[in-house]
Amino acid sequence: MIFGFVILNDWSARDIQQWEYVPLGPFQAKAFATSISPWVVTREALEPFRLHGPAQDPQPLEYLRQVLPNNYDMQLDVALRAGSMNEACTSPAPISNYMYWSSVQQLVHHASSGCAMNVGDVLALAPSPARRRISAAACWRSAGTARSARAARRRQAHVLEDGDSLVMRGWCQGDGYRVGFGEVEGTITPAG
């Protein structure tokens, strides 16, 4: 059973990940930091925001087929402040309605192989990578306004550097009310 949801940023060291991806997958590249929003929003609080996710083609295996709407209409703001910027650039985007696999499907699939789930376990879910790149594109253009090879590389590779800060805020919007997850923030600092 899923108790609730948080915003989670599983920071990735893409330079390391590129090297170790074959044959290990993202291993040490994701082993150095994870940021989580300050509170858990329960499933019950998100009930009014349920919706069907995108059509799944090919159709999932029988144990993963869904009848009920198991996605949520969530919004996510991602704010980037590059070390060279005075103001953060915010890029709002819907997130959960772009989830191909719902949280329910992912939990069921995870547990189907006998992997025990315990109270307090955290599973990280993400919308399609293409959707995240699109929503962040405007911020990366702002972060690399200087005409240089370094700025061009940052825009193309979406590279964070020392001094850059990333802030994520998420919520579901009702008629006259909002259910929020709080704010999760991190700043890249030099290796010590």
Predicted local confidence at residue 32, as pLDDT: 76
Q: Which amino acid is at 55?
A: A
Asked whether 154 and 132 are in contact (CB, 8 A), the reply is no
Q: What is the 3-state secondary structure (H, E, C) of 63-106?
A: HHCCCCCCEECCEEEEEEECCCCCCCEEEEEECHHHCCCCHHHH
The whole-chain average pLDDT of the chain stands at: 80
At 81-137, the pLDDT tens digits run 877 666 667 766 666 667 888 999 999 998 998 888 899 898 888 765 544 443 455
Question: pLDDT tens digits, residue range 15-49?
Answer: 777 888 777 777 787 877 889 999 899 999 999 99
pTM exceeds 0.85 for this model:
no
In a domain, 75, yes or no: yes
- The answer to whether residue 63 sits within a structural domain is yes
* Residue 168, domain member (yes or no): yes
Task: Look at the chain and report how many structural domains it folds into.
Answer: 1
Instruction: Find the CATH number of the domain harbouring 144.
Output: 3.90.850.10
Range of the structural domain that residue 73 is part of: 52-187
In a domain, 114, yes or no: yes
